[in-house]
Amino acid sequence: MLIQASALRVEFDGFRAVDDLDLTVQEGELLGIAGTNGAGKSTVFGAIAGQVSPCTGSILFAGTDITRMSIHRRARMGLARTFQVPREFGELTVQENLLAAARNDRHETLLAAWVRRSAAEQADAALRDQADQWLALTGLTAQASTLAANLSGGQKKLLELARAMMTQPRCILLDEPFAGVNPVLIEQLIRVLQTIHDRGITLIIIEHHLRALRGLVSRLIVMDQGRIIAQGPPAKVLDDPRVAHAYMGGIV
C-alpha cells in the first residue's frame, strides 16, 4: 500500500469539501479520479500533497503518517504533484526549470564545495543529462533554451511532468493534465504517462472528463459532494447509474 487516507474530512468556512473519505492506492497503480466541478477531487489532492490541512482523518504514504507533514518533506519522500493551471518558472528556460526542481542531497558548506568541486561538477553534469532525458521523453528538447513563459498550454503541462520526474518521485498526482490541451498534445501526454507508469511510478490522475480516462487507467474512482460514489474498472464505473446521475447525462 503506497497511499492510505482514512476518514478524511476537509472543510472550508463550514462547507464540507471532502466528507469522511477513505482512499487506498497501491504501489505502481495507475488510478483515475473523476467527478464534476466541486466534487472534491482537487481538495483530496491538496490534502495528500500538503497544500490543504484536513480537519480530521489521516494520510499514510508508504506507511508513514504525512497528515501534518510539510510539503517539502513529502516531496523528498517521493510525492510529486502537477496542477490544472501549470506553475512554471516563466523567467527560466525549460531546461533551467528542470534543474531547479532536481533533488540536491549534497548540503555542502562552501569549504566542502570548494574541496569537492570536481565531484560537484560531475553531479551537476549528471543532472543536466537527466534533464535532457526527460526533455527528450516529453518532446521538449527543441524548447530546452526557450523561456517557459513562451510555451503553449500543452507544452507547459509536459514541462510540469518532466519537472516532477526530476524529483525522483514514487508517485505523481496529476490535476486535470488534459484540460485546455489540443488533441495532438493529449495523445502525446498519454504516451508520456504510459511510459512513466511502465517505469514503476504510481500515477493518480484527476480528470473532469471520464472519456479521457477510459483507456488509460486501470481503476477509476468517481466522487460527488466530497464522497466516493463508485470505483472499479472504468467500464464498470461508467455503467453505474449513480455516476450517470451525478453527471446528469452530461459527459459520461
Cα torsion 55, 59, 65, 67: sign: negative
Give the model's confidence band at 249: pLDDT under 50 very low, under 70 low, under 90 confident, else very high: low
Record the cell numbers describing residue 225, joined without a space. 459532494
Residues 6+ apart with CB under 8 A from 28: 2, 197, 200, 201, 202
Q: In whole numbers, what is the pLDDT of the chain averaged over residues? A: 90
CA gap 55, 166 in Å, rounded? 32
Q: Please give the residue that has the higher pLDDT: either 183 or 65.
A: 65
Q: How many domains does the chain have?
A: 1
Q: How large a percentage of the chain has pLDDT more than 90?
A: 75
Model pLDDT for residues 191-232, shown as the tens digit of each residue: 999 999 999 999 999 987 777 788 899 999 999 999 999 999
The range of the structural domain enclosing residue 168 comes to 3-247
Asked whether the beta carbons of 239 and 232 are under 8 A apart, the reply is no
In a domain, residue 130? The reply is yes
- The answer to the question of residue 16 being in a domain is yes
Here the cell at position 58 is 489521516
The alpha carbons of the chain give a radius of gyration, in whole angstroms, of 19
211: CATH = 3.40.50.300
Banded pLDDT at 117 (limits 50, 70, 90): low
Span 15-29, mean pLDDT? 97
What separation in angstroms does the CA of 165 have from each of 57, 80, 176?
A: 29, 8, 17
pTM of the model: 0.90
- Residue 82 belongs to a domain: yes
Q: Is residue 252 part of a domain?
A: no
Distance between CA atoms of residues 71 and 40, nearest Å: 20
Which cell is 167 given? 524529483
Q: Where are the beta strands (DSSP E) in 62-134?
A: 64-65, 79-82
The 10 Å Cβ neighbour count of residue 113 is 12
Give the pairing of strands 3-12 and 56-61. Answer: antiparallel
Q: Three-state SS for 48?
A: helix
The answer to whether 104 and 130 have CB atoms below 8 angstroms apart is no
- Indicate if the alpha-carbon torsion angle 113, 133, 156, 93 is positive or negative: positive
Q: What is the pLDDT of residues 34-51, one digit of tens each?
A: 999 899 999 999 999 999
Residue 246, pLDDT > 50, answer yes
Residue 10 forms part of a structural domain? yes
End-to-end CA distance of the chain: 30
